[in-house]
Structure 1
Amino acid sequence: MSKRAEGKTVAILAADGFEEVELTSPKEALENAGAKTVVVSLESGEIQANQHRDKGIMVSVDKTLDDVKADDFDALLIPGGLFNPDTLRQSQKALDFTSKFFEQAKPVFSICHGPQVLISAGLVNGREMTGFTAIQQDLKNAGAVVRDEKVVVDKGLVTSRNPDDLPAFNDKIVEELCEGKHEAQKKSVAA
C-alpha cells in the first residue's frame, strides 16, 4: 500500500460521545496512507465512544488542547456523534484550535454532527458543505451552501453526512491531506 501521506500529522479533535466508526475508520485510512494521527481532547486520559446511542470503545487521548497548537499538524479531523460536537463547541480552546487550521490554510475534515463545531467557530458562512441530515438546516442558517452528497469538498474543507459515507470520505481526506495547504481556505476565513 502506498504511504503517500508519510510525514503528515493529523489532529483528531474529539471528546466523550464521538461516533466510534467516525473516528476509527478515518484514523485507520490516514495511518494506512502513512500519516501519523494524534487524538486531541479537552482532558487527558481516555474518551468514550458511542455506537449510535450505545457505549463503544474507550480511546486514549494523546494530547490535550493545552499541549498542542495547530502549527504542530498538517490537518484536522473532527468526528461526529451526538455528544462530541456539543462538548467541543462549548470550549473556546477547541474553537480557537479549529479556527487556526483555517487561518493557516490547512485541510479540515468533519463528518456527521462534527460540522457543528465549525458552525460555533464561525467558519461555515459561504462554504459548500454537508453534514448529518439533522444539522443541514443548522448549516444553512449559519450561511453554508448545503449539498446532500456523500462528501463535499470546498477549498480544503471536507465534510460528509454519516457512517455510510465513510469510504468516500476516507478516500477524499487522504487525497486532500496529500495536496496540503489550500490558500483559498485562508481567504474564506477573512471574507
Structure 2
Amino acid sequence: MNKQSLQGKRIAFLATDGFEQVELTKPWQAIRDAGAEVVLVSPKTGQIQGVNHDEKADKFDVDLSVHDASAEDFDGLVLPGGVMNPDALRTCDVSVGFVRDFFKQHKPVAAICHGPWTLVEADVVRDRTVTSWPSLKTDLVNAGAQWVDEECVCDQGLVTSRNPDDLPAFCDKAIEEFAEGKHAAQTI
C-alpha cells in the first residue's frame, strides 16, 4: 500500500462504455484512499458500462462530460483499458485533446492495458518507453514508442502497465507520480 498523500489533488479518470471495470475501480479506490478527489470524465453523460473481459459488469455515474472538462482543473489522469473503451475514446477529438493537454501541461498520466491506444491517437508516446496489453505493441512502436514487456513502466510522469495482474504496481506508481506533480522534462 502506497502511503503517499494526494490530499488536495484532483485526478481525472477518462472512460466510456466498455472499460475494464477492475482497471477503473482498483486505481479509483487506491487514489481516493491516498486522499485525492477522483472524477469520472466521459464523452457520454449519465452512466457508462463497465466490463469484466467480454461480459457486461456494472454501470458507473459520469461526474463530468469531457466537453466541459479541462486538464487545467486536474493534477493527473488515469486511462483504464478494456478494448471498446479506448477504441471509442481515440475517435473522439475532444477526448484526445483532453489527454494531450495533460502532456502539454507536464502533468502525470497513468494508462493500463488497452488504455495507451488513446495515447497513440494523442501523439504523446514518441521517444517514450511504455508497456501495454501485447496487442498494442505494434501501434505503440509505430507511434514512436519503445515498447517493453514489464509489469509497470514510468517515463517522465507517464505510467503504463499491461493488464489487471499489474494493478498493485500500477496503482503504487501512479500515486507516486501524482504526489510528485508536474514533470518539467515531460514533452509531447
Q: TM over 0.5, yes or no? A: yes
Distance across 1 between alignment mates of 2:67 and 2:145: 30
- After TM superposition, the runs of 4+ consecutive aligned structure 1 residues lying more than 6 A away are none
SS at match of 2:44: coil
Distance across 2 between alignment mates of 1:96 and 1:141: 20
Q: 1:137: Cα distance to partner?
A: 1.7
Aligned to 2:36: 35
Aligned to 2:98: 97
How many corresponding residue pairs? Answer: 187
Residues 124-154 of structure 1: per-residue CA shift (max 9 Å, x gap): 1111100001111211111101111000000
RMSD (CA atoms): 1.0
Structure 2 matches for 1:172-187, cutoff 5 A? 172-185=173-186
Unmatched 5+ stretches in structure 2? none
Unmatched 5+ stretches in structure 1? none
**1:8 counterpart = 2:9:** yes
Residues 61-91 of structure 1: per-residue CA shift (max 9 Å, x gap): 0000122100110001010001000100000
Aligned to 2:22: 21
CA contact (8 A) 2:4 2:175 kept: no
Distance across 2 between alignment mates of 1:127 and 1:95: 18
TM-score, length-scaled by structure 2: 0.97
Distance across 2 between alignment mates of 1:123 and 1:66: 21
Distance across 1 between alignment mates of 2:153 and 2:5: 22
CA contact (8 A) 2:81 2:113 kept: yes
CA contact (8 A) 1:50 1:56 kept: yes
Aligned to 1:85: 86
- Report the identity percentage: 50
CA contact (8 A) 1:3 1:32 kept: no
Residue identity opposite 2:110 in structure 1: F
Residue identity opposite 1:85 in structure 2: P
CA contact (8 A) 2:128 2:155 kept: yes
Residue identity opposite 2:121 in structure 1: S
Residues 85-135 of structure 1: per-residue CA shift (max 9 Å, x gap): 010000000011001000000000000000000001111111110000111
**1:109 counterpart = 2:110:** yes
Distance across 1 between alignment mates of 2:124 and 2:4: 31
Aligned to 1:149: 150
SS at match of 1:106: coil
Residue identity opposite 2:120 in structure 1: I
CA contact (8 A) 1:65 1:94 kept: yes
CA contact (8 A) 2:4 2:176 kept: no
Distance across 1 between alignment mates of 2:135 and 2:155: 21
Structure 2 matches for 1:67-86, cutoff 5 A? 67-86=68-87
Distance across 1 between alignment mates of 2:4 and 2:153: 24
SS at match of 1:12: strand
Distance across 1 between alignment mates of 2:49 and 2:26: 16
TM-score, length-scaled by structure 1: 0.96
